[in-house]
Structure 1
Amino acid sequence: MKKLLILLITVLPLLSMAQPFHVTLFGGLANYQGDLQDKRYTFSGSKAAFGLGAQYDLNNHLSVKAGMMFGKIGADDKNSDNFYRKARNLNFQSNITEGQVLAQYDFLDLSEKRLSPYVFAGIGFYHFNPYSYDTLGRKVFLQPLSTEGQGLAQYPDRKNYHLTQFTIPFGFGLHFKLADNLVLGYEMGFRPALTDYLDDVSRTYVDHDALLAAKGPLAVEMAYRGGELKDGDPTYPVDGTQRGGANRKDWYYFSGFSLSIGIGNNGRAPKGLGCPTRVY
């Protein structure tokens, strides 16, 4: 993440010295899909997201963008229709901070058209840190607790997951030229997390006593929370019992409105929107 931030700090001033250059803003929603949320997108599980960056037009169709995205994701087994998940009673939240460099392609020339569909793809790095709240309402970060035995000697194949990861952002949207140097867009952006631990859930439960000895009672409490339910089963599952599904990695999404503000004359003003030409 630090390397990407350095890259963005270097690239943005260089872009601002060139034409055509745009400042970009984003506002919308963040969402997640993983072991606590099967559906790719739910409005009920969405949380606010925003972003800012810079764009440089290589021509009237192709642009290069660099920027930062900020959002929050989360899910709760209480909202699941699945009996097993409700009994498991896990939940998590996490802030997402992403740095990205993208290529964007408008299918139509916005110097001639008001509307154009577009697609984008690129590379990025993001930082996350899943957390929950214990029975006393205290915020607990989950990664240090090794809830699935990560880093424990008894489970050498389970390594601690990194909180900063690589991703490949891609998506599509629709641009609408509002005025000279002002473009409104609506887009859907998809991010493969390339980890199964956005939600701190992936594989199976580990031995109760091994986890207790290595990480303490809080780790056991956060690993299985069925006993917190009114009629829930307080018995911690035996070692090897399914906890999540490691066959599929997690995803997160950004969807919402973007605004591109051109700096100077970028040559993409649509016909009929620019200042009239006076003839003497």
Structure 2
Amino acid sequence: MKKILLAGMLLPLMTQAQWNVNLFGGFSNYFGDLQEHPYTTQQSNGSFGAGLQYDVSGHFSVLSNLTCGRVSAADGYATQTDHRARNLNFETVIGEWNLLAEYNLFDLRKHKLTPYVFAGVAVYHFNPYAYDTAGKKVYLRPLSTEGEGLTQYPGRKPYALTQLAIPMGGGIKFRISDRVTLAYEIGLRKLFTDYLDDVSNRYVSQANLLAAKGPEAVEMAYRGNELKGGATYPPDGTVRGNPKHKDWYYMSGLRVTIALNSLRIAEFRRHSGVLDCPKRVY
């Protein structure tokens, strides 16, 4: 009897459910020690993704996507004088897998337009790098630019390159046809690291960094001396970043959702008793 009741409760949901393919394209950026604006298209880069979506009902969906984007920033764009004098920059490619729950305010089988929100969990990989004065690509984590892993700074541990994030965001959807929906969305990622840009805390002793990691680490830890009239390497303990605020990255753009195995919208509307207004007869 319990099985029959459970089946009776689940059957309406299952008959309304459908599978979809999601395709995403847009731009990516970040907010941290080398980017002054919480949300901006300045210094943005391209991003793209694809995944599957399972519509449990007309309002609620579960999604899983693979996305890839690149973020970069440079102190040369900063308005703060001390940041421009620091002259740091970085880039990193971000690969992400996420699992999301999504809620539509309106049922797109009955409406053409709806706002929506989403949130979930993600695993992402990053590896910050910069280019030296000779144009060589240099990965920053192995250099311990803030003393991560050095015996003189036991409280500073090397940061992991694969971590968890909390994605959240929203947008607006427009139903183009029975099976195709177009959306514009903004997705933020709350991170648990301040080293997406390899900048977080304070400068370490130039002598200690030189002895442990070599001249390349000193060169990439402070680049103000590359500027005309720039200062020399700062003393040990000078502020380099702000560890009180973790980094964020975000992706914004267009998402196309293509239904795979559901009843067409017109069929749903007939079965559910939702009828379009009759055409005017002359």
Q: Calculate the TM-score normalised by the size of structure 2.
A: 0.88
- Give the 5 Å matches for 1:248-259: 248-259=245-256
Contact kept, 8 Å, 1:45 with 1:74, in 2: the verdict is yes
Kindly report the root-mean-square deviation, in angstroms, between the aligned alpha carbons of the 2 structures: 2.0
For 2:135, the equivalent position in structure 1 comes to 137
Distance 1:173 1:273, change over 3 A: farther
User: SS of the counterpart of 1:53?
Assistant: strand
Task: Give the distance between the partners of 1:77 and 1:91, measured in 2 at CA.
Answer: 6
| CA displacement, residues 161-207 of structure 1 (integer Å, 9 cap, x when unaligned) | 00001001000110100001100000010001210000000000001
3-state SS of the aligned residue for 1:212? helix
The one-letter code sitting in structure 2 at the alignment partner of 1:54 is L
Name which of 228, 235, 241 aligns with 1:244.
241
> Which one-letter code corresponds to 2:67 in the other structure?
M
TM superposition shift of 1:42: 1.7
Determine whether 1:48 maps to 2:46: yes
Query: Cα offset for 1:268?
Result: 4.6
Structure whose alpha-carbon radius of gyration is higher: 2
Q: For 2:62 and 2:246, how far apart are their aligned partners in 1?
A: 28
1:100 alignment partner, SS class: strand
Q: Which amino acid aligns with 2:103?
A: Y
**Residues 203 and 242, structure 1, Cα contact 8 Å, conserved in 2:** yes
SS at match of 1:169: strand
**How does 1:1-12 map onto structure 2 within 5 Å?**
none
Secondary structure at the residue paired with 2:30? strand
Is 1:55–1:64's contact at 8 Å kept on the other side of the alignment? yes
Instruction: Give 3-state SS (helix, strand or coil) of 1:227's partner.
Output: helix
The one of 82, 107, 111 equivalent to 1:109 is 107
Match 2:260 to one of 258, 263, 268: 263
Aligned residue identity for 2:45: K
User: Structure 1: which 5+ runs fail to align?
Assistant: 1-17, 275-280
Partner of 2:85, secondary structure, is helix
SS in 1 for 2:92: strand
Q: Equivalent residues in 2 for 1:181-260 (5 A)? A: 181-233=179-231, 235-260=232-257
Q: 1:191 to 1:266 in 2, by over 3 A?
A: farther
Corresponding residue of 2:3: none
Q: In structure 2, do the counterparts of structure 1 residues 222 and 245 end up closer, same or farther at CA, with 3 Å as the change threshold?
A: same
Q: 1:107 to 1:216 in 2, by over 3 A?
A: same
Q: What is the CA–CA distance in structure 2 between the aligned matches of 1:94 and 1:104, rounded to whole Å?
A: 28
Cα deviation code 1:19-76 (max 9, x no counterpart): 5100000000101000001211222211000010000011110000001110000100
1:95-106 to structure 2, matched below 5 A, reads: 95-106=93-104
- Output one character per residue of 1:73-110: Cα deviation in whole Å (capped at 9) or x when no partner: 01000111110011100000000000000000000011
Q: How many residues align?
A: 257
- Structure 2 gaps of 5+ residues are 1-15, 267-271, 277-282
Residues 22/197 of structure 1: CA separation in 2 closer, same or farther (3 Å cut): same
Q: Deviations over 1:118-149 (max 9, x none)?
A: 00000001000000000100000000000000
Over the matched positions of the two proteins, sequence identity in percent amounts to 52
1:272/1:180 Cα in 2 relative to 1: closer, same or farther (>3 Å)?
A: farther
TM-score, L = length of structure 1: 0.88
Aligned to 2:163: 165
SS at match of 1:126: strand
- For the residues of structure 1 that align with 2:273 and 2:78, how far apart are their CA atoms? 51
